[in-house]
């Protein structure tokens, strides 16, 4: 496999016949990924062609600990993009333009130039409840409409990539590091493995603020290499963990500033289940699949919080005090029963309030 870079991508495009020799272009690497190289290609204005993005797999992920993953995981992402294009509004996911199986890459349309990651908005304190509610409804739409699609019985039926990219580096790693919560973690893994096929849907596996681009006309969803036919409750816990981690970051820096992030988590959660309640399960929380997802999403939230502290891909924006705070909350939740809705949020909120009281002399 030829590993593409800013220096050789133009040559690859010309040699492979994707771009004629006379068309000028420039290439720059886009930041943010740990498992792929992502290159943006801009063409000279005279060519009249919009920019494109090339994504190529890498075997070794760019994290501190050794973390290898098979190159063919990129085809699961390619398959997920094709499925999502049939169930989401135009422009919400990139359009696939071409693929090269020998080089483990594909090219896709580029997001609007005014796009920025939702993560960058959140880190800057830009809180928009409408975005959170919209993302909750979007995830619900995916989980509602994906079951039964042929792609879930094809490349997306293989859950081994999810094992390599999430279950082992996240869940099994924290189970080894924290034996006191290993039974709870193993129970979560078993519940995902044992889920009946008829209850499986498209699980994105990396639905997070860094993979959501916000622009003037809406949002674009990115990065689906963990996508598979699986347990939707993982997506819920994974997404929610990002909002709670940012709540901790904000509150420990400025006491009380975490509140808006906790409310964002509520906005997302209730929008998701509101959409399911309205469009899928008319009996609401009394319906067994609904209730299971309601509870298991909370359990995955606790596990994902701990995984982003002590797993193979720890969150980069928390200092040691914040990391210890999250670790203690997550372990306490996992040692109890994190499943009832609001349990972890209430626990986190009470711990933040107690810390404020201690910091301010109990006032």
Do 83 and 141 have their domain in common? Answer: no
- Of 88, 109, 130, the position where a domain reaches its end is 109
DSSP 8-state code for residue 68: B
Question: Is 82 domain-assigned?
Answer: yes
The answer as to whether 331 is a domain residue is: yes
Question: Helix H segments across 117-258?
Answer: 118-123, 129-145, 160-162, 173-177, 182-193, 232-253
Domain boundary among 79, 109, 139: 109
Does 214 map to a domain? yes
Domain final residue pick, 93, 109, 125: 109
Whole-angstrom CA distances from 62 to 33, 196, 231, 237 are 8, 34, 27, 24
Q: Do 135 and 82 fall within a single domain?
A: no
Q: Do residue 189 and residue 159 come from a single domain?
A: yes
CATH number of the domain residue 58 falls in: 3.30.200.20
| 213 shares its domain with 286 | yes
Tell me how crowded residue 211 is: count the other CB atoms within 10 A of its CB: 18
Reading the block at residue 91, the tokens are: 């422009």
Beta bridge partners of 25: 43
Q: What is the pLDDT of residue 361?
A: 46
Q: Are both 184 and 52 inside the same structural domain?
A: no
170 shares a domain with 225: yes
Burial (CB count <10 Å: 0-12, 13-18, 19+), residue 70: middle
Residue 270 lies in a domain: yes
**Same domain, yes or no, for 76 and 222?**
no
Q: Could you tell me the residue range of the domain that residue 26 belongs to?
A: 9-109
- For the chain, 363 residues long, give each residue's pLDDT as a single digit of tens: 788 999 999 999 999 999 988 899 999 998 755 578 899 999 998 878 999 999 998 776 554 455 556 777 788 899 999 999 999 999 999 999 999 999 999 999 999 999 999 999 999 999 999 999 999 999 999 999 999 899 999 889 999 989 988 999 999 999 999 999 999 999 999 999 999 988 899 999 999 999 999 999 999 999 998 999 999 999 999 999 999 999 999 999 999 999 999 999 999 999 999 998 887 655 544 555 677 888 899 999 999 999 999 999 899 999 999 999 999 999 999 998 766 656 788 899 999 999 887 655 443
**Whether 34 and 140 share a structural domain:** no
- To 5 degrees, how large is the angle CA 136–CA 138–CA 141? 110
Q: Would you say residue 1 lies in a domain?
A: no
Distance between CA atoms of residues 206 and 213, nearest Å: 14
Count of domains forming the chain = 2
**Chain-centre distance of CA 201, in angstroms?**
16
What is the domain-level CATH number for residue 257? 3.90.1200.10
Instruction: Give yes or no for a contact between 116 and 128, defined as CB atoms under 8 angstroms apart.
Output: no
* 142, 261: one domain: yes
């Amino acid at each position: 496999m030829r590993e593409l870079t800013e220096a050789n991508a133009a040559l690859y495009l010309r040699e492979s016949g994707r771009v004629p020799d006379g068309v000028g272009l420039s290439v720059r690497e886009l930041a943010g990924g740990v498992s792929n190289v992502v290159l943006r290609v801009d063409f000279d204005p005279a060519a009249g062609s919009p920019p494109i993005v090339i994504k190529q797999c890498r075997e070794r992920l760019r994290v501190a600990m050794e973390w290898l993953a098979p190159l063919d995981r990129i085809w699961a992402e390619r398959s997920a993009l094709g499925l999502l294009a049939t169930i989401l509004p135009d422009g919400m996911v990139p359009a696939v333009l071409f693929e090269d199986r020998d080089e483990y890459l594909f090219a896709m349309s580029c997001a609007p130039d005014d796009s920025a990651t939702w993560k960058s908005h959140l880190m800057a304190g830009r809180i928009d409840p409408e975005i959170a509610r919209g993302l909750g409804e979007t995830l619900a739409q995916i989980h509602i409409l994906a079951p039964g699609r042929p792609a879930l019985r094809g490349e997306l039926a293989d859950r081994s990539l999810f094992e390599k990219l999430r279950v082992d580096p996240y869940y099994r790693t924290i189970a080894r590091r924290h034996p006191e919560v290993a039974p709870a973690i193993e129970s979560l893994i078993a519940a995902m493995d044992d889920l009946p096929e008829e209850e499986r849907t498209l699980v994105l596996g990396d639905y997070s603020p860094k993979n959501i681009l916000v622009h003037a006309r809406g949002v674009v969803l990115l990065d689906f290499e963990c996508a598979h036919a699986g347990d939707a409750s993982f997506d819920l816990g994974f997404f929610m963990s990002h909002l709670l981690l940012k709540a901790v970051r904000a509150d420990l820096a400025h006491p009380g500033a975490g509140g808006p992030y906790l409310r964002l988590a509520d906005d997302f959660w209730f929008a998701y289940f509101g959409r399911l309640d309205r469009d899928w399960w008319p009996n609401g929380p009394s319906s067994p699949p609904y209730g299971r997802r309601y509870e298991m999403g909370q359990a995955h939230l606790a596990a994902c919080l701990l995984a982003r502290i002590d797993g193979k891909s720890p969150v980069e924006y928390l200092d040691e005090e914040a990391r210890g705070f999250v670790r203690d909350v997550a372990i306490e939740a996992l040692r109890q029963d994190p499943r009832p809705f609001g349990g972890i949020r209430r626990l986190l909120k009470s711990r933040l309030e107690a810390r404020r009281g201690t910091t301010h002399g109990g006032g």
